[in-house]
Amino acid sequence: MSASSDHEVVVEEAAVLAADLHARPAGQVTRAATGVDARVWLSVDGRDEVNARSVLAVMGLGAVAGQTVLVRGEGPRAAEAVAAVASILRTAEAVPG
Amino acid sequence: MTEASTSSEIPTVGIVLISHSRAIAEGAADVAAQVSAGAVRIVGVGGTEDGRLGTSLDALVGAVEKVSAGAGVLILPDLGSAVLTAKAFLADQEDGTDVMLADAPFVEGAVAAAVTASGGATLAEVVAAAEGARDVRKL
């Protein structure tokens, strides 16, 4: 946990995957978590969290359609970043790759 | 060559993949561009002008120019003379150049770098993303 400050925000949101978390949706997740002033982690089934900024780690979750992904964010823009990532997970299209 | 321009007003880091094989370099660039939703400046270079296996410093120079947009360029080589050609390129650069070499798995590093670059990250962050690919298990 980072040091608290006036702007430190911690947000958690659960999202049910609309499609398997393959390369393309994983890429969308990482893009949404990059370049925003927040740190975002994902976890599935209580397993270790992964950094959403690592597309390979996000793919490595091996999460499939119907599973619930817990999205956790910390930082000044955590609410925005977590909402964006959760939205991608809920609306991912079921396409190969 | 495979490339996709970014729609962002802010210039993003460019990426050059270099291999002995044009098919490997262009294929990896295709995958990385697709995972990045096309919002990344990336090209793959490899092979000789007549289609044989090999690497070319001139081709690398052209590729770096092609993807450069002011935010720096990452070069990711696969093996052998691709590494030597990339090092030769850097040796010719003046001090303070914004071109960096990444020591990373080729496909995984390309995907990680491209997605990170497309998110608006700095050159140092893109290099770190590529090199971090070494530590991510796929199984």
| A64 within some domain | yes
pLDDT over threshold 60, residue A13:
yes
pLDDT over threshold 60, residue A97:
no
| A97 within some domain | no
A55 interfacial to chain B (CB closer than 8 Å)? yes
Indicate the domain borders of chain B.
14-135
Number of domains in chain A: 1
What is the predicted pLDDT for the residue at B7? 47
State the residue range of the domain holding A65.
Answer: 10-91
The ipTM estimated for the assembled molecules is 0.83
Q: Is A83 exposed, middle or buried (0-12, 13-18, 19+ CB in 10 A)?
A: middle
**A69-88: pLDDT as tens digits:** 999 999 999 999 999 999 99
| A69 within some domain | yes
pLDDT over threshold 90, residue B8:
no
Average pLDDT over residues B92-105: 91
CATH number of this structure's domain B14-135 = 3.40.50.510
A23 interfacial to chain B (CB closer than 8 Å)? yes
B39 interfacial to chain A (CB closer than 8 Å)? yes
DSSP B99-128: EEE--S-HHHHHHHHHHHHHTT--HHHHHH
Contact B120 A35 (CB under 8 A): yes
| A1 within some domain | no
From chain A, pick out residues whose CB is under 8 angstroms from the CB of B129. 53-54
Contact A97 B118 (CB under 8 A): no
Residue B21 carries which DSSP code? -
Which CATH number belongs to the domain containing residue A77 in this structure? 3.30.1340.10
B20 noted as active-site residue: yes
Residue A11 in tokens:
């947000």
